[in-house]
Amino acid sequence: MSQVQPRFDPDYPNYICCCCCHVTTGAKILAFLSTIGAVLYAIAFFYGISLLGEVDPQTDKGYIAYILLEFMGIGLGIGLIIGTPILGCLWYGLIKEREGFLIPTLVCSVISLVVTCVYGCPIIFHDRSLVAEDYYVEILFGWLCSIALQYWYFNIYKNAYDYIKHKRWSPLDDFGHVRQSEKEYIAEPKETAEA
């Protein structure tokens, strides 16, 4: 007994994100913002590297600044080495509509969300008597907003992944569930009119 898959509907409500914007457009906007963030990240990395030459590690204050800048430089460098290919995969997947290239972004989004949740646990269980109540509420609110935004971004990327996957695997004509690239076209010779 075979199940019939419904035809692909690009206007399905799951494929709409905020402001009646299509999910692929929303994912491209997020990718653009991520690209701007990566460029600013690279500028911060090179600026931090340039500051290493100006700090005198012989003094106590200079030594601490030097170590801090070294660790920042290492962290920013690793972030650039890992983040740039993931961002490239995201752009390639969105432009060429290949869902597999969105997987690294989805994995990084999940890891980031889990790290944010784990990082915020001490905020909840922290002794509030050590911190002013207003300060605690602001930190808690910022942490909850960060989780909400990260989940929303993940949801946009996941829906873009689903959209591209369903679009590529949707029934096409009478070929069933076959990707466009897996179709075989047979050229038949053209009959010539005999005079």
- pLDDT tens digits for range 73-106: 777 778 888 889 999 999 999 999 999 999 999 9
Residues spanned by the domain of 64:
21-173
Q: Is residue 35 part of a domain?
A: yes
Give tens-digit pLDDT for 165-181. Answer: 988 887 654 434 444 55
Integer Cα distance of 91 and 101 in angstroms: 8
Q: Is residue 71 part of a domain?
A: yes
Q: Is residue 7 part of a domain?
A: no
Q: Is residue 183 part of a domain?
A: no
Q: Is residue 147 part of a domain?
A: yes
Q: Is residue 10 part of a domain?
A: no
Where do runs of H (alpha helix) occur along 53-102?
60-96
Q: Is residue 8 part of a domain?
A: no
Residues 10 and 16 sit within 8 Å (Cβ to Cβ): no
Q: Is residue 3 part of a domain?
A: no
How much is the pTM?
A: 0.72
Based on the structure, what is the number of domains in the chain? 1
